[in-house]
Amino acid sequence: MTKRTSRCLAALAAAGLSVLLPAASPRAADTRIALVVPGPNAYFDSWRQAIADASKKYGFTGIFAVPPTDAFNLTQENALLDSLAARGYTGFGLFPGDTHGTNAEEAKLARRGVHTININGCTYDPGAAAFCISTDIYKAAAYQAQELIHAIGGSGDIALLASQLTDPNTQLRIQAVKATVAATGGKVNLVQIVADIDTPQLSPPAVNALLAARGNTLAGAMSTSYNPSIAMAVALTDNPQFRHVKFIGADAAPQVIEAIRKGYITGTLFQNTYGMGYAGAYAAFRMAHDGCTVRTDAPFDKSLQTAKQLTAGVLLVTQANVAKYPGPASLPDDTTHLITTIDQQVLHCP
């Protein structure tokens, strides 16, 4: 405030006139944003870096939070969200612990003025989340299955390694793979689905048991989750007798990337895990700090779960292009696209 302005204000006050000053804008650093998951899973490790990078760029206070549980747990995730809200966090990007059960928690948070965005998995409409940032789960799994069928030459037996059945995405992926296999008219057979194994402890014995029982007859296998992808990549690396099994994994674990480089597995379906976390944290910050709202004409896609999906990209990484993607699960061009779309087409800011 200049001296001249101060003198003018003093004169007005002396004349008995009230003076209304504009309210100070809240500092970005006072806005607290969290990325939250329902339990530990290495797939989400890149979210820690995503929110660190987003908070540094945009100035808010951000954390990556995981409840003290050994596996995905909706109750524990809800308790963590409540605790963070009580500590002043007003924006969350979260992976839903349940496709239906998370809706009640997000509605409760909304009544407290807390903004939520679902990331990497959507809940079923109607829900209180502003929107969902995710790959098209069904289409991505179908694409992965199509690529596997192509890799095995269009016929043969395949197996599917899947995540927890409580994972919002697992049932959609199973449906997509079954439909893709059915479209071959019997040329390809889905002979086994191995689910509920997405932990470092459960995946290796499950994969070894599958190969012991069916390894000689399987033409291919695919995994739609992180830990089973590692387990199969390691198994095919260590057991050359099974390398006739064409395998397409998921995500970007170092063991998977190395197996692709050496030609031991066919490829992996890369999701933009980092970018979805980064964009979700950014959107939550803009809503919590700047009062932005979601446009009624936002260019959302309609999925089997929600009509409010901002779709992130996927990429099949093979030996031909693996050198371009040595780091965390990040597709930089897709991240830029997500941020630009959020800024220009999704959010309306006063």
Same domain, 88 and 202: no
- Kindly tell me the burial class for residue 280, based on how many C-beta atoms sit within 10 Å of its own C-beta (0-12, 13-18, 19 or more): buried
So what's the pLDDT on residue 328?
58
* Residue 17 counted as domain residue: no
- Kindly tell me the burial class for residue 178, based on how many C-beta atoms sit within 10 Å of its own C-beta (0-12, 13-18, 19 or more): middle
So what's the pLDDT on residue 167?
79
Strand segments (E) across 165-259: 188-194, 218-223, 246-250
Q: How far is CA 165 from the centre of its chain?
A: 17
Structure tokens that stand for 25 in this block: 């804008």
Q: Are 283 and 225 in contact (CB under 8 A)?
A: no
What pTM, to 2 d.p., does this model score?
A: 0.84
* Residue 22 counted as domain residue: no
Same domain, 230 and 214: yes
CA-CA distance, 140 to 173, in Å (whole number)?
A: 8
CA-CA distance, 328 to 158, in Å (whole number)?
A: 28
So what's the pLDDT on residue 304?
85
Is the link from the previous residue into 228 a cis peptide, with omega within 30 of 0? no
Q: Each residue's pLDDT tens digit in the chain (350 positions)?
A: 444 444 444 443 444 444 443 333 568 889 999 999 999 998 899 999 999 999 999 999 999 999 999 889 999 999 999 999 999 999 999 999 998 999 999 999 999 999 999 999 999 999 999 999 999 999 999 999 999 999 999 999 999 999 988 777 899 999 999 999 999 999 999 999 999 999 999 999 999 999 999 999 999 999 999 999 999 999 999 999 999 999 999 988 999 999 999 999 999 999 899 999 999 999 999 999 999 999 999 999 999 899 999 999 999 999 999 988 755 557 888 999 999 999 999 999 99
Same domain, 121 and 204: no
So what's the pLDDT on residue 2?
45
* Residue 9 counted as domain residue: no
Q: Is the dihedral of CA 175, 181, 184, 187 positive or negative?
A: negative
Looking up residue 89, the CATH number of its domain turns out to be 3.40.50.2300
* Residue 23 counted as domain residue: no
Same domain, 62 and 80: yes
Q: Give the domain range for residue 257.
A: 137-270
Q: Are 101 and 74 in contact (CB under 8 A)?
A: yes
So what's the pLDDT on residue 329?
59
So what's the pLDDT on residue 23?
39
So what's the pLDDT on residue 157?
99
Total number of domains constituting the chain = 2
Same domain, 141 and 118: no
CA-CA distance, 78 to 86, in Å (whole number)?
A: 12
Secondary structure (3-state) at 137: helix
Structure tokens that stand for 340 in this block: 């630009």
Same domain, 266 and 283: no
DSSP label at 186? T
